[in-house]
Amino acid sequence: MNKELVKDKLNRPLRDLRISVIDRCNFRCTYCMPADIFGPDFAFLPKSELLSYEEIERVAKIFIGLGVEKIRLTGGEPLLRQDLPILIEKLSVIDGLADIALTTNGVMLPKLAGQLKAAGLKRVNISLDTLNDELFGQMNGRDVGTGPVIKGIKAAQAAGLGIKINMVVKKGLNDHEILPMAHFCKNEGLELRYIEFMDVGSTNGWKMDDVITKKEIYEMLKEEFELERTGSAYYGEVAKRYKYKGTDTHVGFISSVSEAFCSTCTRSRLSANGQLFTCLFNGNGYDIRDFMRAGASDEELKARIIKIWNGRTDRYSEERTAETVANRKKIEMSYIGG
């Protein structure tokens, strides 16, 4: 496929597309969908407002023609979307797409991992913030222990999917689990990603005092392991990656608070209801769904996406201040994923 590469105002190319397929989740993690906000009466999107698989496929083809090489499916919990392997099969055969992955809490992988792999999925990022059952139940807001997630990891391994484990670290909550998680993932040959607690959305009660920085986590790991820095696998990679010496197992850090990576950010995000967001921290989306449904041609849709990306100036993490944290409009993570 001949790609029409586009760049934003800061000369950043469009390489990655994250697609939220659903705004619902079977967990209520405190940093994403806290139960006191997303309670039994919370109004989730009706099916008619979600992009159909055909609409997602259409948009994805246009994005890939503009330079996107990687797609990640997110939520909410994407595996709650009915017949998700059908969408993955549609996307995985698009000419020019190099990688398709999915972020999940892992609970439904024992049932679906084989189907996802057969449909063309390459990798899963599985969220696991602690190995302690009681704390995990507290953090996921559903009193679910780690057992179902561990079974999901095993199912993904058996299916031959690539696996990364995501651990969001919050000071005073699960920071004592940093080393146990490292030992577990190293022993299992799993790449672990420590994620700094971020001020995504406006419902998770974020404070800078709650952030354990990449440097602090790295210093903890150095007390127990010999780590070797590895280079970026590709332009725009967000994780700073290391290998445990003498192994092929990596550990990474996503440091969007303490060591921002805005200057090389290549990610666009499509929300569950078809809004295009140019930054995880920008609450101003651009309508794609209604534009399509009103009869826009592929060329008109392509021109709209190019215009949005060409005008992009987002660099929130590099500009974060107490004022921007308090006053900037943000979209909830459950609508656009991580």
Residue 326 has pLDDT above 60, yes or no: no
* Residue 329 banded pLDDT, cuts 50, 70, 90: low
pLDDT at 206: 58
- Burial of residue 48 (number of CB atoms within 10 Å: 0-12, 13-18, 19+): exposed
Give me the mean pLDDT over the 118-132 stretch: 97
What kind of architecture, by CATH, is found in domain 16-336?
Answer: Alpha-Beta Barrel (3.20)
Residue 183 has pLDDT above 80, yes or no: yes
Residue 337 has pLDDT above 80, yes or no: no
Strand partners, 169: 196
Residue 252: which H helix or E strand, with range? strand 250-254
Structure tokens at 69: 């090489």
pLDDT at 113: 98
Instruction: Say how far apart CA 69 and CA 3 lie, in whole Å.
Output: 10
Residue owning tokens 């919050």:
170
Give me the mean pLDDT over the 287-314 stretch: 97
Residue 205 has pLDDT above 60, yes or no: no
Overall pTM > 0.85: yes
CA dihedral 301, 303, 306, 308 (to 10 degrees): -70
Name the percent of the chain lying above pLDDT 70.
89
Distances (CA, A) of 95 to 43, 60, 64, 243, 302: 38, 11, 8, 33, 17
Residue 200 has pLDDT above 80, yes or no: no
- Dump pLDDT digits (tens) for 24-70: 999 998 877 888 888 888 989 999 999 999 999 999 999 999 999 99
Residue 104: which H helix or E strand, with range? strand 99-104
Distances (CA, A) of 194 to 116, 120, 291, 316: 25, 27, 38, 20
Task: Please report how the helices 109-119 and 84-92 are oriented relative to each other, as an axis angle in degrees rounded to 10.
Answer: 20
pLDDT at 120: 98
Instruction: Say how far apart CA 317 and CA 236 lie, in whole Å.
Output: 15
265 Cβ neighbours under 8 A, 6+ residues apart: 12, 236, 238, 279, 314, 315
Strand partners, 9: none
pLDDT at 335: 63
SS3 244: strand
Considering Cα of 61, then 336, then 334, then 152, what sign does the dihedral take? positive
pLDDT at 279: 87
pLDDT at 234: 67
- Dump pLDDT digits (tens) for 40-52: 889 899 999 999 9
Residue 322 has pLDDT above 60, yes or no: no
